[in-house]
Amino acid sequence: MAKITLKGNPITTSGDLPAVGSQAPDFQLVNGKLADVSLQDFSGKRKILNIVPSLDTPTCATSTRKFNEKASQLQNTVVLVISADLPFAQGRFCGAEGLNDVIPLSTFRSSFAQDYGVEVVDGVLKGLTARAIVVLSPDNRVIYNQLVNEIADEPDYERALAVLG
């Protein structure tokens, strides 16, 4: 379990992020058409997992916008925005913002938050995901990870993108 904070108040996650160098756990997430999506659906591509608590919060919205801006410039890379928001809400947010270069996926009907160690297990955000970035190689090896210590802070975009060259 990892210890992080929300506006200075301690909260705990269900585990730890997959370690750099390890094989990423497979997942089943839900897309905007309510279809299950797995890690294998992005086989052969580099993947940025932008894991956020909810797109209805300012920091999550900002990180999604920033990764959308960067995603169009990345070769052979997909940016997956993963949150506990329902697929309908994710679709409304991305549609209203004109965010077409990220793929929103919901942890709805999924064990992703537990499998990746990002489920918040106490405090006001219990049941949502912590803020984290996991970057995967085309063969699904973890090449970068960051669990953001203060959930209200943005992730380190530059370090996450730097591992992609």
Catalytic residue set? 60
Q: What are the beta bridge partners of residue 129?
A: 119
Amino acid (1-letter code) at residue 68 = N
User: Strands, E, within 52-165: which ranges?
Assistant: 77-83, 103-106, 132-136, 142-147
Q: Tens digit of pLDDT for each residue in 85-113?
A: 999 989 888 888 888 888 999 999 999 99
What average pLDDT does the structure give for the chain?
A: 92
Provide the angle, in degrees to the nearest 10, between the axes of the packed helices 58-71 and 87-97.
60
Per-residue confidence (pLDDT) for residue 74, from 0 to 100: 87
Q: Which CATH architecture does the domain made up of 3-162 adopt?
A: 3-Layer(aba) Sandwich (3.40)
pTM of the model: 0.93
Q: Where are the domains of the chain?
A: 3-162
Q: Where are the alpha helices (DSSP H) in 72-149?
A: 87-97, 112-115
